[in-house]
Structures are given as structure tokens and as C-alpha cells.
């Protein structure tokens, strides 16, 4: 899981990067809002944590711009502004949650986990991408109506790509999703699993495309 932190306080940023890193999250950090839309444009992040009191463009303007552009990424706002009108404005303008500084790290981690879990929830256990159908509850897959035999890691890879479709999934994120507590999967191993999965998909109407320098996406 990857988080973008937009925060100009260096001490707070360092503390959050350490805490979230220890909790297993990959972190990217920006000290200003202006570069954030470009950083989030590739769909590599699962959550943004945004401070309101930023230099230049403030955090609330950033939230509005992201939502106006159709970006549905979960956004957790951090701010020292504790007025009711500030909280209402933040939520009405597109933030998913709002935390007032100072805050307790265990509560922040719990809210981060809840927002990511909510954003990735699927209403049905059945998922379709073109001719591909996945049953997320039974780990069964069908391509053009025919059963698609997959190993455990091939299933994990295909599921990650299908859940994100049509967005690009970063290679590092795929490696994290394929890793187990006792064995880390490298970026080179991801390439091997992608190659095997492409061979199994054949010419069944589904393509795993390489987006150079970023990762992969699945297209019908």
C-alpha cells in the first residue's frame, strides 16, 4: 500500500513517514500542494494525507482540484484548524476524513486503514474485466467462459490488476501484494509472473500492458 503525504512541517513529516513505514506502508512526501496532482495522476497511491496550511496552494484547494478532476483517491486531511466550519468545509469539498493536530498516531493509523479498506471494498464477490471473470471469494477465474487455472501468486497478480483496471499498477506495489511475511518478491520476479500470466491469457481477448517506468495495466 502506498500513501502520498502532503505536509510542509519537516518534523511531523519525518514522524509520519517513520510510523506509517513501520506499519507497512510505502510513503511519498511532498512539502507543497502544487506537484500533488501530477504525483497522483498515475494511480500508484492508495491514500493521500493532506495538510491544510500549506505554502502556496492550500490543502483545501488541492482537495477541490483533485475532486474536480475526477480523482476518487481517499483523502485524509490534517489541520490545526479545529472550528466546526473548517471541518464541514473540508468534508463538503471532498475530504474523506479530518484529523485535528495534535493527534495520536494509533488513531491516525486506524483511520488510514479504514479509509483504504473502504475504498478497496467490492460490493460483489464477482469481478469482470472484458472476457475475464473472477470470483474473489472462491479464487476462481474464467476467461471467455472457460476455467483459467492459476497458481496462488498468479491469482494475486491477476486480482490486483483487475481490481485496479483500467488504472496502472506500479511494479513495486505488485511486488508488495505478492510478497509473504517470510519471502519478499522482487521486481524481477514480478516480471516473471507477468510473463507466465500473459502466456495463460494467450489470445483470449485480455492484454497485460507494460507502462514503461511505472508498472502494468490490464485491458480488454
The torsion of the CA quartet 211, 216, 217, 218, rounded to 10 degrees, works out to: 120
196-211 pLDDT, tens digit per residue, is: 999 999 988 899 999 9
pLDDT at residue 181 in the model? 44
pLDDT at residue 180 in the model? 58
- Report the Cα–Cα distance between both ends of the chain, in Å, rounded: 25
Provide the pLDDT confidence category of residue 116 given band limits of 50, 70 and 90. confident
The angle at the Cα of 47, spanning 73 to 18, to the nearest 5 degrees, equals 165
Question: Per-residue pLDDT averaged across 138-160, rounded?
Answer: 90
d(CA 160, CA 154): 10
Q: In the chain, pLDDT over 90 holds for what percent of residues?
A: 43
Query: What does the buried/exposed string (b/e) look like for 85-110 if buried means 16 or more CB atoms within 10 Å of the residue's CB?
Result: ebbebbeebbbbbbbeeeeeeeebee
Of residues 181 and 43, more confidence is placed in 43
pLDDT at residue 182 in the model? 46
pLDDT at residue 85 in the model? 66
Relative to beta strand 75-79, strand 47-51 is parallel
* Best CA proximity match to 160, nearest among 65, 18, 39, 44: 44
Question: Per-residue pLDDT averaged across 137-145, rounded?
Answer: 87
pTM of the model: 0.58
Provide the pLDDT confidence category of residue 117 given band limits of 50, 70 and 90. confident
Mean pLDDT over all residues of the chain? 87
Relative to beta strand 140-143, strand 2-6 is unpaired
Provide the pLDDT confidence category of residue 82 given band limits of 50, 70 and 90. low
CA 45 → CA 3, 82, 179, 191, distances in Å?
6, 28, 18, 21
Domains (range + CATH), the chain:
2-119 (3.40.50.2300), 126-219 (1.10.10.10)
Question: Per-residue pLDDT averaged across 169-177, rounded?
Answer: 83
Least confident of 26-40, 126-140, 197-211: 126-140
Beta bridge partners of 99: 78
Amino acid at each position: 500500500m502506498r500513501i502520498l503525504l502532503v505536509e510542509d512541517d519537516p518534523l511531523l513529516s519525518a514522524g509520519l513517514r517513520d510510523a506509517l513505514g513501520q506499519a507497512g506502508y510505502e510513503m511519498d512526501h511532498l512539502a507543497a500542494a502544487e506537484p500533488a496532482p501530477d504525483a497522483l495522476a498515475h494511480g500508484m497511491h492508495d491514500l493521500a494525507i493532506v495538510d491544510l496550511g500549506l505554502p502556496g496552494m492550500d490543502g483545501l484547494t488541492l482537495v477541490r482540484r483533485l475532486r474536480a478532476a475526477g480523482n476518487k483517491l481517499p483523502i485524509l486531511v490534517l489541520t490545526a484548524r479545529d472550528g466546526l466550519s473548517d471541518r464541514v468545509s473540508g468534508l463538503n469539498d471532498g475530504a474523506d476524513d479530518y484529523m485535528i493536530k495534535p493527534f495520536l498516531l494509533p488513531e491516525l493509523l486506524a483511520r488510514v486503514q479504514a479509509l483504504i479498506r473502504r475504498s478497496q471494498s467490492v460490493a460483489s464477490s464477482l469481478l469482470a474485466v472484458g472476457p475475464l471473470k473472477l470470483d474473489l471469494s472462491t479464487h476462481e477465474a474464467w476467461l471467455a467462459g472457460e476455467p483459467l487455472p492459476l497458481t496462488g501468486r498468479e491469482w494475486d497478480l491477476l486480482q490486483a490488476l483487475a481490481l485496479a483496471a483500467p488504472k496502472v499498477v506500479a511494479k513495486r506495489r505488485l511486488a508488495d501484494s505478492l510478497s509473504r511475511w517470510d519471502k519478499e518478491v522482487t521486481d524481477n520476479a514480478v516480471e516473471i509472473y507477468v510473463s507466465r500470466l500473459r502466456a495463460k491469457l494467450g489470445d483470449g481477448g485480455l492484454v497485460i500492458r507494460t507502462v514503461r517506468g511505472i508498472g502494468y495495466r490490464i485491458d480488454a
